[in-house]
Amino acid sequence: DVQALVNYYARAGYGRHVQTVCGEALRSRPGDPTLSFWRAFGLILEGSYSEAIAQLESLMDRREISLACVAASIHAHKMARIVDEESVDALEDRMHREEGDANERALLACANFYALAGGPDSWRARAMAERALRMARGDGFDAKTLLGWIELTTEAAGGDDDDDLGLGAPPTPGGTTENDRARTQKAKRRFDDVLDTDEGEGHLEALMGRVKVMERLGQVAGALDALNRVAVIHPSFAPAVAEKAKMRMRAGDWDAALETAQGILERDPNNIDALRLHAFYLLGVEGNAAAGRAKIGQLTDALETLEGRNARLFVSCAQDLARVAGGTSNMLSALGKMLERARAIEPEDVAVLNEVAYQQQLAGNYAAAVGTYREAARVAEMDGTLDNLTSLYGTIHCQLLDGQLTEAAQQLEFLTDVASERGIKLVFLTALHAARVKGDVATPLAELEGLLADHMASVQRKPFAYDYFVHMDPDLLLQCAELYLSQESGEPRGKGEPMSPGMERA
């Protein structure tokens, strides 16, 4: 099912994969407007906005995807660094005129676009899909399934929390809020309405929706059962095998996860998901640095070949693997190639710059890290996103580690004034500064103890996935342990004496 492949890769943010799938399908269905539309959407995903707009303009007279083309063109214009306001106004006028007369098929295509694209207009997805369901003359399976997926995506569902159940972000079992849990149950009912019928029991999108619901509810066995059903009914749907490997990893069954990933690589040596899992296993489970570095090289080559414009994916892979790489220079050098590629694609992306700086910090290159953190802060200020204090936290941390205590003290005072709360990083930096200037370390360390307990509780609630250690932040925890140990007297304890409080906390 080509549309199911498009949806899967779009949810994963794999823009080039979307283009490849559509391009291959167009060989047997030349000129197909729906395939051409989704190929243009793949261009949007990888940031090729001008090229996408040109392709979309050539498709706008095709009734079944005209509305989606207008919506996608507006989205692409707004995503561009320089927005053509006149074109946006004209397209929004056209959208207003055509939406009322759109048929079921056109509404479904447009609703699916909004759900996959995200952004400020994604709320439109639900209203369009519900209208398409009311217009449906048959079973309405596609509309029901799309409404289920919309419930699993905060923006399209109109939610106000930060949880997003796209493939790139593993969910918290059971949900984090009542609203979140209610949406998960609504999605389950939508998928069940389709799958519990004779005609809809093999609906691929609904089956994959059931997988995500089971994952959301922490029911790994149920998710694996659904994936096995996909493999039986739709044996050509390769992503189901990659999802099975990741599900086994989340269950802690590393042997089965690795076996599944290796099976994928035998058929497809450049499969990004399988290479990523294998590299993560080599570093995080086996601790095999040499083999891990080699696998990182293969992953980097595969990313370059298959998703060469996907800065977000380069950064995500480098970020996750850096947290289990042990801070060794060889490993950080290998991951640095991913970050170099990401920075070449998006030279003024704050997330890219902050991760580059963080890995420079891990490597002990504090001067370079400070420079990159400051560049990230400059870009954030230009974009109006300076409220995210990641760059400032990183700058102060590097200054303290590099012995620039006066500069760090000034920045720390400013940070204390502007921060909305005394979180773990702020209190840690306060304690680290106190330790470096021989000040009062005991007070911030006492405050840090409670924050660390909350932090670890949050980590333990999180399902095991690639970003588990990003959330944990092992380097921060190690430095907290060093702070506690630095306050110990160094005198050995007698036999039978209890462990000192500082040692126990460390």
Contact of 274 with 242, CB cutoff 8 Å: yes
Residue 238 confidence (pLDDT) = 96
Q: What confidence tens digit (pLDDT) does each residue in 264-317 have? A: 999 999 999 999 999 999 999 999 999 999 999 999 999 999 999 999 999 999
What distances in angstroms separate CA 150 from CA 34, 171, 190, 195, 297, one per listed residue?
21, 15, 10, 17, 37
Range of 161-170, 320-329, 392-401 with top mean pLDDT: 392-401
Count CB neighbours of 372 within 10 A: 26
Q: Which residues of 184-215 are buried (b: 16+ CB within 10 A; e: fewer)?
A: bebbbebbbbbbeeeebeebbbbbbbbbbbbb
Q: Does 499 have pLDDT greater than 80?
A: no
Q: How far apart are CA 454 and CA 462, in angstroms?
A: 13
Q: How confident is the model at residue 153 (pLDDT cuts 50, 70, 90)?
A: confident
Mean pLDDT of 138-163: 79
pLDDT at 430: 96
**Dihedral angle at the C-alpha atoms of 90, 94, 95, 100, nearest 10 degrees?**
160
DSSP state of 169: S
pLDDT (0 to 100) of residue 92: 97
